[in-house]
Chain A
Amino acid sequence: MGAPTSAVGGPAPRLLRRGAAPATEPDAPRPRGDRVRRRVTDNLTAYAFLAGGLLCFGLFSWYPAVRALVLAFQQSNSVDEATWVGFDNFRLLFADPEFGAAWRNTFVFTLLALVIGFAVPFALAVLLNELRHAKTFFRLAVYLPVMIPPVVTALLWKWFYDPGPGLFNEVLRFLHLPTSDWTNSTSTALVSLVLVATWANLGGTVLIYLAALQGIPGELYEAAELDGASLWQRIRHVTIPQTRFVMLMLLLLQIVATMQIFTEPYIMTGGGPEDATITVLYLIYKYAFVYLDYGSACALSAMLLVFLGAFSALYLRLTRERT
């Protein structure tokens, strides 16, 4: 566990106190000048080590974060000088019908992704943890989609979803079930994207749950069984409470990740049909790189930042307390 910071708070961690006092402390008192010089050299060395990292963080994290907030209140494009416009960018966004659609879709997407993407990996992990054979096969298979580049996954599923010769409708026809328009209909497009995203990302979640399940002491199950707890009761009273912390972590992580979805709608639907799959990040992209209105794009980014920053802060706080 690292050192505490005022940014997130939390108690001073153990390791810092146990870890050595700065090794530069001299045993015997030395002349004052020497000590000062020593301290200066030590700090210069340390900052030389830090220089490259600090430069990159400054240029690509800290400066852009400040700039995003400034640009949100400016009118800015690639040609003219930026001018202050107060809340005009926000007003413009609120008047845009795509703005409401983007937030609505993003929320629905996140909600659906949680309904499907939260329960399924947990159930799979509990199941896999009980299987005593072919463990490597299961792990490799479930993680395979995660390693396939997201662009390939999106193109692959676009091909599967094709209402004509697409694989999924073929299978439905073979089973004598009604076919679907998948991404081509406003009512099913969003769900279709959630299915792709779940397929692509489930493996990582399953493996994290598996690791958590392996940390549960066997005696707990033993004791529960002696008390006559049924299988379901053991899951309910042992497995779930023991993995609650990991569940909370993954819940926060998933919210942050799914609310930034872009690749799937961009490649598979282009935000359509009729704005049914436009997302907040997609709209940011549109404002910045299609309309070339950086100010409004940043105003929308700032909204997303405020919303997701809270979840990230909570997540970070929890991990720091735990570790």
Chain B
Amino acid sequence: MRTLVSASVLTRPKGRAIYWTVFGGTVLAFVVAFLFPVYWMVVGAMKSSDELVRTPPTLVPEEWHPENYKDAWGTLDLTTHLTNTAVQAAGAWILQLVFCTLAAYALSRLRPVFGQVILGGILATLMVPASALLVPKYLTIVDVPIIHVNLLNSPLAIWLPAVANAFNLYLLKRFFDQIPSELLEAAEIDGAGPVRRLWHVVLPLSRPVLGVVSIFAVVAVWQDFLWPLLVFSDTSKSPISVALVQLSADAPASQLIAAMVIASLPMIALFLVFQRHIIAGIGAGSLKG
């Protein structure tokens, strides 16, 4: 494909020299800017406490202490916090997928009266910055209206607000809108009810968008900090992100850094596995408000 610089320019000796210089420089800059900090973290966690604060620092540890990772896991109780995070992310993912899909399908295909008003109300929430709702949302969690239940320290405090995700719902609705009506009408003539039409026609066609929504849902919970900080006053219930900050004051530096690496690994693994979907989803995600 033709870009800014034409291919013919690059075949000339001068063009080739410039290209490879720029290429080399960019690789070097990317390694220094994006990979080195991560390397420094992974390796720093394996230094002894003395070596960690030494000046000048060592690029490669003189003594390797991989057991720092094991120690960090034990002293910082990472099993608990990682499990908490996984439970919170999984629940938010499943509830979001189920309720947003059902609602998007209803708005896109079943078209109830006031459907447009409801959709308008959902889209309007995109204009409200999340931080403006922080306090009243917290108060709702502390005392849920009508049923008067306190959801503090319960994973429901993460799960239920996650469903109210206008962006993901809208993404799904837009995708459902594009499914040819003929398919659904044919299914209806064959006697398929709304549930069967959703399950057998709409969902199989919607795999790509369901994948994007799933990744967004899981990543959002894993990365969030302020909301779980508020709703999990009980440290044993808190996810890894909150736990790291609470532990950062007391834990030995090398163990804290090891814990930071461990907290990042699931996200990096997710990225490496689903990189195609994630990068494709960012295009759709550029609409995110």
Do A160 and B37 touch across chains, with their CB atoms under 8 A apart? yes
Do A2 and B170 touch across chains, with their CB atoms under 8 A apart? yes
What would 19 more interface pairs be, CB under 8 Å, given A52-B98, A59-B160, A63-B140? A2-B174, A8-B123, A47-B106, A49-B102, A49-B194, A57-B164, A62-B125, A65-B125, A68-B136, A130-B4, A133-B23, A134-B23, A143-B275, A144-B34, A149-B240, A159-B44, A167-B57, A304-B132, A305-B132
Residues of A within 8 A of B (CB): 1-8, 15-16, 19-20, 22-23, 42-43, 45-47, 49-50, 52-54, 56-57, 59-65, 67-68, 71, 78, 126-134, 137-145, 147-152, 155-156, 159-160, 164-165, 167, 170, 173-174, 199, 204, 207-208, 211, 213-214, 216, 218-219, 221-222, 225, 231, 234-235, 238-239, 246, 249-250, 253, 256, 259-260, 262-263, 266-267, 280-281, 284-285, 288-289, 294, 297-298, 301-302, 304-305, 308-309, 312-313, 315-316, 319, 323
In whole angstroms, what is the CA distance A305 to B245 when docked?
28
Do B38 and A56 touch across chains, with their CB atoms under 8 A apart? no
> Which single member of B19, B106, B131, B185 contacts A281 (CB below 8 Å)?
B131
Chain A residue numbers with a CB within 8 Å of B57 are 165, 167, 170
Do B56 and A137 touch across chains, with their CB atoms under 8 A apart? no
> Which single member of A3, A56, A134, A148 contacts B268 (CB below 8 Å)?
A148
List 20 interface pairs A-B (beta carbons < 8 Å), by A numbering.
Answer: A7-B124, A15-B177, A20-B185, A46-B111, A49-B106, A50-B118, A59-B145, A65-B132, A147-B267, A147-B270, A149-B267, A150-B241, A151-B241, A159-B253, A165-B53, A222-B2, A256-B289, A266-B226, A304-B131, A316-B126
Chain A residue numbers with a CB within 8 Å of B253 are 159
Do B132 and A60 touch across chains, with their CB atoms under 8 A apart? no
Chain B residue numbers with a CB within 8 Å of A54 are 103, 118
Residues of B within 8 A of A (CB): 1-6, 10, 19, 22-23, 26-27, 30-31, 33-35, 37-38, 40-41, 44, 52-57, 95, 98-100, 102-103, 105-108, 110-113, 115-140, 142, 144-145, 160-161, 163-164, 166, 169-170, 173-174, 177-178, 181, 184-185, 188, 194, 219, 222-223, 225-226, 230, 240-242, 244-245, 248, 253, 256-257, 260, 263-264, 267-268, 270-272, 275, 278-279, 282-283, 285-289
Residue of B nearest to A157 (CB): B37
Do B38 and A231 touch across chains, with their CB atoms under 8 A apart? no
Do A211 and B123 touch across chains, with their CB atoms under 8 A apart? no
Chain A residue numbers with a CB within 8 Å of B136 are 63-65, 67-68, 71, 298
In whole angstroms, what is the CA distance A175 to B102 when docked?
59
Do A42 and B135 touch across chains, with their CB atoms under 8 A apart? no
In whole angstroms, what is the CA distance A57 to B102 when docked?
14
Chain B residue numbers with a CB within 8 Å of A52 are 95, 98-99, 102-103, 163
* Cβ of A294 to closest chain B Cβ, rounded Å: 6
Do B3 and A5 touch across chains, with their CB atoms under 8 A apart? no
- The 7 closest A-B CB pairs, nearest first, are A218-B2, A5-B120, A53-B103, A20-B181, A46-B112, A64-B136, A49-B106
> Which single member of A1, A3, A60 contacts B164 (CB below 8 Å)?
A60
* Cβ of B109 to closest chain A Cβ, rounded Å: 8
* Cβ of B193 to closest chain A Cβ, rounded Å: 8
Do B137 and A64 touch across chains, with their CB atoms under 8 A apart? yes
Residue of A nearest to B142 (CB): A78
> Which single member of A49, A214, A308 contacts B1 (CB below 8 Å)?
A214
Residue of B nearest to A295 (CB): B135
Chain B residue numbers with a CB within 8 Å of A235 are 4
Do B289 and A316 touch across chains, with their CB atoms under 8 A apart? yes
Do B2 and A170 touch across chains, with their CB atoms under 8 A apart? no
In whole angstroms, what is the CA distance A1 to B231 when docked?
36
Residue of B nearest to A162 (CB): B53
Do A167 and B40 touch across chains, with their CB atoms under 8 A apart? yes
Do A49 and B110 touch across chains, with their CB atoms under 8 A apart? yes
In whole angstroms, what is the CA distance A150 to B125 when docked?
24
Residue of A nearest to B271 (CB): A147
In whole angstroms, what is the CA distance A196 to B105 when docked?
40
* Cβ of B245 to closest chain A Cβ, rounded Å: 6
> Which single member of A22, A156, A309 contacts B260 (CB below 8 Å)?
A156
Chain A residue numbers with a CB within 8 Å of B37 are 145, 156, 160, 199
Do B230 and A312 touch across chains, with their CB atoms under 8 A apart? no
Do B38 and A148 touch across chains, with their CB atoms under 8 A apart? yes
In whole angstroms, what is the CA distance A130 to B53 when docked?
42
> Which single member of A50, A207, A316 contacts B127 (CB below 8 Å)?
A316
* Cβ of B234 to closest chain A Cβ, rounded Å: 16
Do B184 and A1 touch across chains, with their CB atoms under 8 A apart? no
Chain B residue numbers with a CB within 8 Å of A208 are 282-283, 286
